C-alpha cells in the first residue's frame, strides 16, 4: 500500500502530539516529533553555553551534533549525542529556548536536512511548525491544527500540572502567547498554514474527533474513489 507523508502543523497546545502519535499507531507509520529535535538542540545550547552569535562555529557544532528519534516500548525517545534526554526537554524553559534557537537559519537548515532524511521513504506522521510549508511541501496530507489560545493554555497547564510542575494558568498563557508570536513572526520558516492544508479547529473537538477528520483525509489519499 502507498506510504504517505502526513504533515501536522499548528501552534503549541493545539493537540498535535496526541493525534500524531495515535495516527502513526493506527496507520503503522513512524511518528516524527520535530519540536523534540529543536528542544534537544536547545538543551545542548544551554548545557554547553553555545554562542549563538558566531554562525561559523554554530554551523560546525550543528554538523557534529547527533539527534535521533527512536521508538522504545511504543514510546518516542529523543537522543542527543547518544544520550537519552527525553525526560529533560518538556519544561517551560526549554520550550522558550527551543523557540529562540529555532529562529536561526543555521539551526533550521540542519534540522530540515535531518527531518527530510528521516521521512524520505514516506510512511511518516510528522508534527511541527513548517512541515507542510518547508520540510515536506509535497506531503499528501497536510493538516493545520489550531484552537483558541485560552484552550491551548489550559491543556498545556493540565499537562504540566500532571507532571508535578508548579506553574499557574496565567503564566502558562503568557508564555505560550510569547512563543506563538515568536514562532509566527520569525523571518525564516515562520509558522503558517500551507495553502493546501486542511484546517481543523480543536477548541471544541476531542482527540477522537480530530482523528476522525484526519483519517478521512488519509483514506481519501489512499483510495481516492
Ligand atoms: O512543538 P514543540 O512545542 O515541542 O516545539 C518547540 C519549539 O520548537 C517551538 O516553539 C518552535 C520550534 N519548532 C519549529 O520552529 N519548527 C518545528 N517544525 C517544530 C518546532
pLDDT > 90? residue 78: yes
For the chain, the average pLDDT equals 95
| Ligand 1 atom index nearest CA of 89 | 4
Atom 2, ligand 1: residue with shortest CA distance: 35
96 CA distance to ligand 1 middle (Å): 9
pLDDT per residue as tens digits for the range 43-75: 999 999 999 999 999 999 999 999 999 999 889
Could you tell me the pTM of the whole model? 0.96
Is domain 5-212 classified as CATH 3.90.1150.10?
no
Q: What is the number of the ligand 1 atom nearest to the C-alpha of 135?
A: 18
Q: How close is the Cα of 1 to the center of ligand 1, in Å?
A: 31
Q: What percent of the chain has pLDDT over 70?
A: 100
Q: Exposure string (b/e) for 174-209, b if CB count within 10 Å is 16 or more? A: ebbeebbebbeebeebebbbbeebbebebeebeeee
The Å distance, Cα 128 to ligand 1 centre, comes to 6
Which ligand 1 atom lies nearest to the CA of residue 95? 6
Residue nearest to atom 20 of ligand 1 (CA): 35
Q: Which of 157, 184, 151 has its CA nearest to residue 169?
A: 157
Closest among 51, 213, 35 to 129, alpha carbons compared:
35
d(CA 186, CA 188): 6
User: By alpha-carbon position, which residue is closest to atom 15 of ligand 1?
Assistant: 102
Does an H or E element contain 58, and which? helix 55-64
Which of 49-53, 71-75, 101-105, 216-220 has the weakest average pLDDT?
Answer: 71-75
Chain-centroid distance, C-alpha 187:
18
Tell me the C-alpha distance between 139 and 197, whole Å.
Answer: 10
The closest-lying atom of ligand 1 relative to the alpha carbon of residue 127 is 18
Using a 6 Å CB cutoff, which residues line ligand 1? 12, 34-35, 38-39, 95, 98-99, 102, 128-131, 179, 183
Residue identified by cell 485560552 is 150
Q: Which residue CA neighbors atom 13 of ligand 1 most closely?
A: 35
Nearest CA to ligand 1 atom 11: 99
Nearest CA owner, ligand 1 atom 10: 99
Q: Whose CA is closest to atom 9 on ligand 1?
A: 99
What string of DSSP letters covers 104-170?
-HHHHHHHHHHHHHHHTTS-EEEEESSIIIII-TT-SEEEEEE--HHHHHHHHHHHHHHTT----HH
pLDDT value, residue 224: 75
Closest CA to 152 of 118, 117, 177, 186: 177
Amino acid at each position: 500500500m502507498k506510504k504517505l507523508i502526513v504533515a501536522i502543523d499548528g501552534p503549541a497546545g493545539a493537540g498535535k502530539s496526541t493525534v500524531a502519535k495515535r495516527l502513526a499507531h493506527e496507520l503503522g507509520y513512524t511518528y516524527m516529533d520535530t519540536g523534540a529535535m529543536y528542544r534537544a538542540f536547545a538543551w545542548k545550547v544551554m548545557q554547553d553555553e553555545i554562542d549563538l552569535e558566531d554562525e561559523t562555529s554554530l554551523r560546525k557544532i550543528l554538523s557534529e551534533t547527533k539527534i535521533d528519534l527512536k521508538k522504545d516500548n511504543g514510546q518516542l525517545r529523543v537522543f542527543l549525542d547518544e544520550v537519552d534526554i527525553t525526560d529533560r526537554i518538556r519544561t517551560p524553559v526549554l520550550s522558550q529556548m527551543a523557540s529562540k534557537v529555532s529562529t536561526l537559519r543555521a539551526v533550521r537548515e540542519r534540522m530540515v536536512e535531518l527531518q527530510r532524511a528521516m521521512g524520505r521513504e514516506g510512511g511518516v506522521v510528522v508534527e511541527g511548525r513548517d512541515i507542510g510549508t518547508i520540510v515536506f511541501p509535497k506531503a499528501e496530507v497536510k493538516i493545520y491544527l489550531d484552537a483558541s489560545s485560552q484552550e491551548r493554555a489550559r491543556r498545556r497547564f493540565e499537562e504540566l500540572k500532571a507532571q508535578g510542575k508548579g506553574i499557574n494558568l496565567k503564566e502558562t498563557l503568557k508564555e505560550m502567547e510569547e512563543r506563538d508570536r515568536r514562532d509566527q513572526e520569525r523571518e525564516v520558516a515562520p509558522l503558517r498554514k500551507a495553502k493546501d492544508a486542511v484546517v481543523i479547529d480543536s477548541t471544541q473537538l476531542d482527540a477522537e474527533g480530530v482523528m476522525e477528520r484526519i483519517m478521512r483525509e488519509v483514506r481519501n489519499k489512499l483510495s481516492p474513489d
